[in-house]
Amino acid sequence: MQIGSVDLEREVLVIAEIGNNHEGSYSRAEEMIERAAQAGAQAVKFQTIVPEKLVTADQTVRMETLKRFQFSQAQFAGLARTAAKAGVMFLSTPFDIDSVSWLSELVPAFKIASGDNDFTPLLRAVAATGKPIILSTGLAGLEEAAFSKDTITGEWERLNLPNPGLALLHCVVSYPTPPAEANLAAILQLAGLGCTVGYSDHTLGVDAAITAVALGARIIEKHFTLDKNFSEFRDHQLSADPAEFAKLVRCIRLTEEMVGGDEKRVMPAEAAAQGAVQRGVYAARDLPAGTVPELADIAYLRPRNGFTPADMDRCWGRPLTRAVSAGEPLSDAQFS
């Protein structure tokens, strides 16, 4: 799966989830993009929310907060330009269907929030753009995640669109998520649905995200803030600040390097040690010509020379063609 310039088969995509941590300040949002890029993020993600299309009118406090945080289409277009200048991808999660069409001009892929992974009209609208989709699976079990996947891929098939790639992110919708409920092994089960997998992290610290990479996550999304104590807005406290985010990126890069490929093979670093640490087959005592070696005549010693222990069936029952001294390695050349 490819998102922008990032081939997820080759590297883990690290997304800084800015969300609403800008709290409606455009200049702060621009600074956050730049600081996230400096910390090693490859993408920054916002939330495109039209309050009247998300919450009911009686949710007055929530409505007021959302309106205070709201950016216009023009502002998001400006932030996309800022991201491009900073060398990171611009992403934003649409929370209403009408926003999908104009956001499609700004983003290389769409992210669907956990709360909307069963909002089928939105899933179909996003699928109709033909762009890759990153779907959070919080609040969903495996059956529900499979339903969301089938809704999206079914729309691609209905519209005769090539599959641009679907990533399913394990996520637990709890802010912050207790470590005992991170349930990271679910990433392995999600992978069974045949999609790229990732992790949207709501735990404190960086350990869960790093573990997710070891379990196969190819996308990591982590909330990002300039200051964990910036305000009482909940997301700041569970977010990574620039220093912590930089640590996260460093650890992810090290982890994916250590995980390596999926082939069990002798690694270059250990090849030189093979002969020194593996055993060969040696004569345990002086053996005259014509001797048919028995168990007491054999010693298994380092370094490896002659037969390997696995070759011993080629030794039993065969007479030696010449005398062999104690400590000499045994090989086919000494047998008739």
Q: Do 200 and 290 belong together in one domain?
A: no
Q: What pLDDT does 272 receive?
A: 87
220 strand-pairing partners? 14, 199
| Residue 326: CATH number of its domain | 3.90.1210.10
Query: 242-259 and 207-214 helices cross at what angle (nearest 10)?
Result: 20
Give the up-direction half-sphere exposure of residue 243: CA atoms within 13 A in the CB hemisphere: 2
Q: What is the rounded CA–CA span in Å between residue 94 and residue 101?
A: 10
Q: Do 241 and 310 belong together in one domain?
A: no
Domain end, chosen from 224, 259, 294, is at: 259
The torsion of the CA quartet 20, 24, 28, 29, rounded to 10 degrees, works out to: 50
Q: Is the residue at 264 inside a domain?
A: no
Q: What pLDDT does 235 receive?
A: 82
Q: What pLDDT does 327 receive?
A: 97
Q: Do 155 and 238 belong together in one domain?
A: yes
| Residue 125: CATH number of its domain | 3.20.20.70
Q: Do 158 and 212 belong together in one domain?
A: yes
Q: Is the residue at 57 inside a domain?
A: yes
Q: Is the residue at 193 inside a domain?
A: yes
**Which parts of 144-253 are beta strand (E)?**
166-171, 196-201, 219-223
Q: What pLDDT does 234 receive?
A: 76
Cα-Cα-Cα-Cα dihedral sign, residues 174, 175, 181, 184: positive
Cα-Cα-Cα-Cα dihedral sign, residues 173, 249, 185, 182: negative
Q: Is the residue at 124 inside a domain?
A: yes
Q: Is the residue at 48 inside a domain?
A: yes
Q: Is the residue at 191 inside a domain?
A: yes
Number of separate domains in the chain: 2
Backbone φ and ψ for 283, nearest 5 degrees, come out as -75, 125
Q: What pLDDT does 281 receive?
A: 96
pLDDT tens string for the chain (336 positions)?
A: 999 999 999 999 999 999 999 999 999 999 999 999 999 999 999 999 999 999 999 999 999 999 999 999 999 999 999 999 999 999 999 999 999 999 999 999 999 999 999 999 999 999 999 999 999 999 999 999 999 999 999 999 999 999 999 999 999 999 999 999 999 999 999 999 999 999 999 999 999 999 999 999 999 999 999 998 887 787 888 899 999 999 999 999 999 999 998 899 999 999 889 889 999 999 999 999 999 999 999 999 999 999 999 998 888 999 999 999 999 999 999 998
Q: Is the residue at 2 inside a domain?
A: no
Q: Do 86 and 220 belong together in one domain?
A: yes
Q: Is the residue at 3 inside a domain?
A: no
Q: Do 291 and 169 belong together in one domain?
A: no
Q: Do 229 and 278 belong together in one domain?
A: no
Residue-range definition of the domain harbouring residue 293: 270-334
Domain end, chosen from 226, 259, 292, is at: 259
Q: What pLDDT does 130 receive?
A: 98
Q: Do 248 and 316 belong together in one domain?
A: no
Q: What pLDDT does 148 receive?
A: 98
Q: What pLDDT does 125 receive?
A: 98
State how far the alpha carbon of 298 is from the alpha carbons of 34, 289, 304, in Å.
69, 15, 14
Q: Do 169 and 203 belong together in one domain?
A: yes
Taking alpha carbons only, the member of 302, 297, 303 closest to residue 315 is: 297
Q: Do 185 and 244 belong together in one domain?
A: yes
Q: Do 142 and 291 belong together in one domain?
A: no
Domain end, chosen from 234, 259, 284, is at: 259
Taking alpha carbons only, the member of 301, 317, 242 closest to residue 21 is: 242
Q: Do 94 and 220 belong together in one domain?
A: yes
